[in-house]
Structure 1
Amino acid sequence: MTTPAIFTTPHGRRIAHHLSAGRGPTIVFLGGLKSDMDGTKALHLESWAHAQGRAFLRFDYSGHGQSSGTFEEGCIGDWAEDTFETVHALTEGPLVVVGSSMGGWQALLLARRVPERIAGMVTIAAAPDFIEDGWWAGFTEAQKQALERDGQVELPSDYMEPFVVTKRMIEDGRRQLVLRAPLDLPFPVRCLQGTADTAVSTDTALRLLDHAECPDMRLTLVKDADHRFSDETCLTLIERAIEDVLGADV
């Protein structure tokens, strides 16, 4: 495993990353909650981009992987700042943003901030607004009281160890919502979603498809694919989706 480079954001967070040179648009991979840049999808797409001669960026949000900080200190807004500052500092020109799970939410936040830089987007089990619509909506009264009393609550997960959700995460998540106001995506978008995903439902994918204003947006449902979306068939579908937005004429 190669040692990552480090970029220090204006907020003082040290972001571990790997940037591969090549022709544009630069492909930027945005990982999921508590995942890191050494996951199957990120490494596969980096290798694929290299074979295509394309520039590629993968990185760890603060509190994730090899970047500074702890997960419990962070929130969606912090990771959105990490994404913007890292992309702004390390890349030039158009981008194709590939967002997985929470990274799909981050991709939408980035597009809202710098739409002029986005040439295309691919989402994989995108999870916009999941803190409000998933976590908060699913909390019991006892959990809500614990959050208010203790400032945090522990949640189980089907895909990772239990993790701590803080009051700050909940409150910040409400400031980052993208499905309650107009969402303009003036570039080609390809959304991929597994029907066996127990973390993000097909209803979320359909809600995003219906809500966004986009001239060329398509949703592909993959029967029996789970949230990881990392087997050979799914990885090939991601490659094809990237190729599709790169070649789209909007």
Structure 2
Amino acid sequence: MPDLECPFEFPTPEGRSLRGLLIPPPTSNAPLLVFLSGFRSVHSGYKASAIAAWAAQNGCGCLRFDHLGHGISDGPFEAFRIGRGIEEAAAAIASVLQPGQALVLVGSSMGGWMGLEIARRRLLPVAGLLLIAPATEFIARRLGGALRARNRLSQDAGPCRHARPL
């Protein structure tokens, strides 16, 4: 598989780069699988490598990269922010996604949450999601009581008008 992969680099507006590996889709109608790694995880890990191998064996393209502050991408780890990371991931994916190409996001832990957010916000035309232990409760666990208090306020005010189905 190494001969199928080529280096991937995406410059962010701040002048930093996301880096990883890309298996170009063998045909114009081949799906693109994108692996979104978890918090402190990298594109060269076991899950990302297994997804890339499967994609290569099954005629799919595959993109896997490190978030800013992770692995071989630029920036200090402490500067990583999930909101900006979601936007950067969507922009990096858009840089290789072809019009009409099926996009499948494969996310592990935090990457699963990022994939859900990309789909929910409709940042990209997502055809499918494969989520491996998505960390959808990450923020709730970290903020704990503050979110519970806010939720009580929302319940007292009636149904939330901000939610919408995917």
Q: TM-score range by the shorter chain?
A: 0.7 to 0.9
1:52-75, Cα deviation, whole Å (9 max, x unpaired): 111111011101110001111111
Q: Which amino acid aligns with 1:9?
A: T
Counterpart position of 2:21: 18
1:24-43, Cα deviation, whole Å (9 max, x unpaired): 22001111001000010000
Counterpart position of 1:52: 58
The equivalent position to 1:91 in structure 2, one of 88, 97, 101, is 97
The structure 1 segments of at least 4 consecutive aligned residues displaced by more than 4 Å after TM superposition are: none
| Conserved 8 A contact 1:25-1:119 | no
Deviation at 1:129, TM superposition (A): 4.3
1:79-104, Cα deviation, whole Å (9 max, x unpaired): 11221110111222220111110011
2: CA distance between counterparts of 1:86 and 1:55? 15
TM-score normalized with structure 1 length = 0.53
Q: Secondary structure at the match of 1:84?
A: helix
The equivalent position to 1:40 in structure 2, one of 27, 46, 53, is 46
TM-score normalized with structure 2 length = 0.78
Counterpart position of 1:121: 129
In the alignment, structure 1 segments of 5+ residues that lack a partner are 140-179, 186-250
1: CA distance between counterparts of 2:37 and 2:128? 17
| Conserved 8 A contact 2:36-2:107 | yes
Structure 1 vs Structure 2 CA RMSD: 2.3
| Conserved 8 A contact 2:118-2:124 | no
2: CA distance between counterparts of 1:135 and 1:65? 24
Identical-residue share of aligned pairs (%): 39
| Conserved 8 A contact 1:7-1:17 | no
- How many residues are paired up? 144
1: CA distance between counterparts of 2:48 and 2:86? 18
Q: Secondary structure at the match of 1:97?
A: strand
| Conserved 8 A contact 2:33-2:104 | yes
Higher relative contact order (CA 8 A, sep 6+): 2
Task: State whether structure 2 residue 9 is matched by structure 1 residue 6.
Answer: yes
